[in-house]
Amino acid sequence: MSGVRLKGKREVHRLMNSKKHIKRICFVVLLIALFIDTAVAGLFAWFQDSYGVTFREIIYTIKSPLAGANSSFFLGAVRYVVPKMAAFVVVLFIAVILFFVMEKYVAVDLFLRGRSGREKKVNVIGIAAALLFAAVVFYSVKIISDINSRLQISQFIRDYTARTEIYEDYYVMPDVDKISSDNPKNLIYIYMESMETTYASKDVGGEQPEINYIPNLTKLAEDNISFSDEEGLGGFISAKDTDWTMSAIWATQTGAAFNFPIEGNSDFGNQEHFARNTVTLGDILNQKGYYQEFLCGSDGTFGGRKAFFEEHGDFRVYDLYTAEEEGYLTPEEEVNWGIEDWLLYDIAKDELTRIAAQDKPFNFTLLTVDTHHFDGWICPHCGNDYPEQLANVVVCADKQIYDFIEWCKVQDWYDDTVIIIQGDHPRMDQSLVSYAKDRMVYNCFINTDFDASELKLKNRQFNTMDIFPTVLEAMGYTVPGDRLGLGTGMFSGRETLCETIGSDYIDTEVQKYSQFYADNFY
């Protein structure tokens, strides 16, 4: 009998030790879960402060070629999250030590008397674990709810399953043969990274309380043609699915929003064709006999740009690696995304001189980068007159573009060339724009044959897609019906879709699945 009792005691002791091990494991697992929750919350807070983008944009970025992506993206996340997590790790470490100390040396059972008068044993660590579990669940649910609300994940799912007929109702398919001109001009098309009119002072139409950080761009807009949503310096609406660089390029070149599926054909870096069936600005000018080149200071494959321009218009894509091959810099001299804008403009001058000597109409498209988030890039030509880094970068970019335009004006080919300057989209971090109500994108058309006094320039409502037919009009082409894609030629004076059906309606519909889009663009 004594052997049986001893065996029973050992079994009880084994079970008690087993329960202790389970408690320890559960406690550690809960702490790890809390750590992960806090890390996710920190990354999310950083991402929102820095970008403010939606789930749709994240999906596209993940599925697009990431070669050439700026390492500051990852470094920014590390710098933001690590200091916050370091303090949290210390707290977790102390909590773990206290747990095991209490378990080993401190009485952890309380005896509470219930209504019946009986004493009931309650384990303090068990209560602590239960409270910790509840905290982890609550915190996780809150984080998921916040992420869903800010990234609009549920909205993305609804849009992905909903259908629209906006393209059937309003899209105008380009007919290249009917787009004509007796004397079309060359085109220099400059996309300025994150260039919005918010950087200007309030007295001229911007959002800055006192300082106009883009005085030269303001003057160019005043002296040439710039369409505005107000009486002062304004711009166009960055429509949904046109509000990051590749989507903005796509929209201004096609008159459609960027709304490819999240599977298959959206992986533009790993497939043979980029929206093969779409008729773009490059396709039109290619058929009109134009030489076309796209210049950027980073890896041309990033975001699918190289695939797009080579597929549509047979562009020569001149990127960071082309510049290295031609001796403008070495790999060791790469900074930021690759090439600083001051060197990019020098390359542009050399390329334009070479291209103009071919005695062939040309379309030279350029994408700057120094004003990219976060806070822009300080180059050797930037001053240090303002406390905000971006302010100094924007002032520098403003001076560089003005100097480049002045150089263009004294070239032999200038009289036969239209120059278009526009922002690609509003900036994605909050520098200089956190208090801005309206985030309009800059536009300026230089050296067109239109008389500004005869155009309806002010108090217009238009978006990224309206730029497509407007570029052709600026070059001297006649666009039948004044419309291409979902865009309306601004020089025509005709009401845009924003002015007739409303920008909110357009934003809602272009995010939905379109069978027309699938049949004609994929």
pLDDT tens digits, 174-210: 999 999 999 999 999 999 999 999 999 999 999 999 9
- Give the whole-number percent of the chain exceeding pLDDT 70: 76
292 bridge partner residues: 363
Distance CA(287)–CA(292), nearest Å, equals 11
SS3 113: strand
Q: What are phi and psi of 21, to 5 degrees?
A: -65, -40
Rounded to a whole number of angstroms, the CA Rg of the chain reads 30
Q: In this structure, are residues 120 and 113 in contact, taking their beta carbons and an 8 Å threshold?
A: yes
Q: Which amino acid is residue 357, in one-letter code?
A: A
User: And the tokens for 232?
Assistant: 């002062």
pLDDT tens digits, 207-263: 999 999 999 999 999 999 999 999 999 999 999 999 989 999 999 999 999 988 654
Could you tell me which residues come within 8 angstroms of residue 25 by beta carbon, excluding any fewer than 6 positions away? Answer: none
The pLDDT value recorded for residue 4 is: 47
* Average pLDDT along the chain: 85
Distance CA(421)–CA(161), nearest Å, equals 37
The H-or-E segment that residue 161 falls in is: helix 153-161
Q: In this structure, are residues 416 and 187 in contact, taking their beta carbons and an 8 Å threshold?
A: no
Count CA atoms within 13 Å of residue 13 on its CB side. 6
| pLDDT band, residue 39 (cuts 50/70/90) | confident
Low-confidence winner among 235-239, 259-263, 311-315, 408-412 (lowest mean pLDDT): 259-263
Residue in 223, 355, 229, 367 with CA at minimum distance from that of residue 295: 367
Distance CA(196)–CA(440), nearest Å, equals 6
Low-confidence winner among 129-138, 343-352, 453-462 (lowest mean pLDDT): 129-138
8-state DSSP, 423: E
Residue with tokens 């724009």: 433
Count CA atoms within 13 Å of residue 144 on its CB side. 7
Q: In this structure, are residues 300 and 319 in contact, taking their beta carbons and an 8 Å threshold?
A: yes
Distance CA(247)–CA(237), nearest Å, equals 14
Sign of the alpha-carbon dihedral angle for 398, 399, 404, 405: positive
Residue 9 in this model has a pLDDT that exceeds 70: no
Q: How far is CA 133 from CA 25, 29, 125, 136, in A?
A: 13, 10, 12, 5
Q: In this structure, are residues 298 and 337 in contact, taking their beta carbons and an 8 Å threshold?
A: yes
Distance CA(48)–CA(76), nearest Å, equals 12
Residue in 229, 247, 235 with CA at minimum distance from that of residue 199: 235
User: And the tokens for 73?
Assistant: 């993206």
| pLDDT band, residue 155 (cuts 50/70/90) | confident
- Residue 303 or residue 88, greater confidence: 303
Distance CA(192)–CA(31), nearest Å, equals 47
Start-end of CATH 3.40.720.10 domains in the chain: 185-521
The pLDDT value recorded for residue 28 is: 72
- Whether omega for the bond prior to residue 374 falls within 30 degrees of 0, making it cis, is yes
SS (H, E, C) 252-292: HHHCCCCCCCCCHHHCHHHCCCCCCCCCCHHHHHHHCCCEE
Tell me how far apart the terminal alpha carbons of the chain are, to the nearest angstrom: 82
SS3 189: strand
The pLDDT value recorded for residue 166 is: 98
Residue with tokens 């002791």: 13
The pLDDT value recorded for residue 264 is: 41
192 bridge partner residues: 423
- Residue 46 or residue 219, greater confidence: 219
Q: Which amino acid is residue 233, in one-letter code?
A: L
The pLDDT value recorded for residue 405 is: 99
- Give the whole-number percent of the chain exceeding pLDDT 90: 60
Paired sense of beta strands 417-423 and 186-192, if any: parallel
Distance CA(271)–CA(394), nearest Å, equals 37
User: And the tokens for 317?
Assistant: 């894509």
Residue 66 in this model has a pLDDT that exceeds 90: no
The H-or-E segment that residue 401 falls in is: helix 389-409
The pLDDT value recorded for residue 437 is: 81
- Residue 413 or residue 162, greater confidence: 413
User: And the tokens for 378?
Assistant: 């300080």
Q: In this structure, are residues 452 and 228 in contact, taking their beta carbons and an 8 Å threshold?
A: no
The pLDDT value recorded for residue 431 is: 85
SS3 25: helix
The pLDDT value recorded for residue 342 is: 98
For residue 428, the Cα-to-chain-centroid distance in whole angstroms is: 6
Angle between helices 72-105 and 124-151 (to 10 degrees): 160
Angle between helices 245-254 and 467-475 (to 10 degrees): 60
Q: Which amino acid is residue 378, in one-letter code?
A: I
Could you tell me which residues come within 8 angstroms of residue 19 by beta carbon, excluding any fewer than 6 positions away? Answer: none
pLDDT tens digits, 256-282: 999 886 544 344 555 567 888 899 999
Distance CA(494)–CA(115), nearest Å, equals 82
Q: Find the DSSP H helices in 445-501.
A: 467-475, 497-500
Segment 370-377 shows an average pLDDT of 89
Distance CA(190)–CA(418), nearest Å, equals 11
Is 185-521 a CATH 3.30.1540.20 domain? Answer: no
Distance CA(417)–CA(187), nearest Å, equals 6
Question: Strand ranges (DSSP E) for 305-372?
Answer: 316-318, 362-367
The pLDDT value recorded for residue 40 is: 72
